Structure 1
Amino acid sequence: MHRILFVCLGNICRSTMAQSVMQYLVDEAGRADEFVIDSAGTSSEESGNPPHRGTAEKLRREHISLVAHHARRVRAAEYDKWGLIVYMDEDNEWALMRLFNNDPEHKCAKLLSFIPEDSSFRPRAHLHDGTVRDVADPWWTGNFDDAYRDVRAGCEALLATL
């Protein structure tokens, strides 16, 4: 059983989008019974709120069902519950390393790190210095198309590795 937790800052844009996209992909692949998928945020400021309307609208345009979800903050006690904790950006990584005592079992990974370096995906996931770029954050830009592009590519690559 693959147990995946997607994480972003507030749990209303990117991580909820990733949860919905990944659920869609595993359902389409006929592999839903192999997965438990959820999402959370590193901050509690959006706790209890539904997904951002931009996330809901983008997924609707892509014919992907938005999972029933209300934002919540990830807790330290959850570390043992998940086989993989997938985060969206470096700030999320920093918060998760603090929360999970530097990730002793190496369960945490940036979503775009699953895209192979030699992929034709544009814009490139891997930067020239070897680092992996962050998933575009629509909270600041309002651009849910770029966030979806990154999330979809990352989730497809993740599913391919599983």
Structure 2
Amino acid sequence: MPSVSKLASEESFRPPQAKKLTHPPQLPNRVPGTAVIALATPSTEEKLQIRKLAASVAKASLEVLAGTRAPKQLARLLSPEVFGTLQRRAELTQQARSAQAMTPGLAPRAGQSPQIRSAHGCSVAPGIYELSVLAADGPRYRAIALRIEQQFGNWIVTVLQIG
């Protein structure tokens, strides 16, 4: 058996050569003949701005449902569909609260402001973010999911789900 030092010193020993490509490598989900465009990653400042926006919209939405904030205060931040849905849900919540107040033995909920515990999200496409927010709303914790899109230079909530 030859020694390792003898193998390394032989002229026949050469490191493996990289295989030369004769065509560009195929990327998954890429149509042949199209150019590859590198998308700009969002800046840290933009991500922070979006997380703050999501947290403030989530808190304000919970306040609308609690009846301590007028829905109109969120009109410029929400798409018309989301605004209409939130407004209708606030009306139904108020009706349920009124019926509960008329029921003997049931105390109305204390009016404390919801506290945002965390907000996490990611960019799913340029100018589009999806986020989740966790909020302490009285004795319970609530999850809020948002989709925020940049439309005409403004950030607009296009999806709002409150659990």
Name which one, 1 or 2, has greater alpha-carbon Rg.
2
Between structures 1 and 2, the one with greater helix share: 1
**Which one has a larger percent strand, Structure 1 or Structure 2?**
2
TM-score by length of 2: 0.24
TM-score by length of 1: 0.24
Greater relative contact order (Cα 8 A, min sep 6): structure 1 or 2? 1
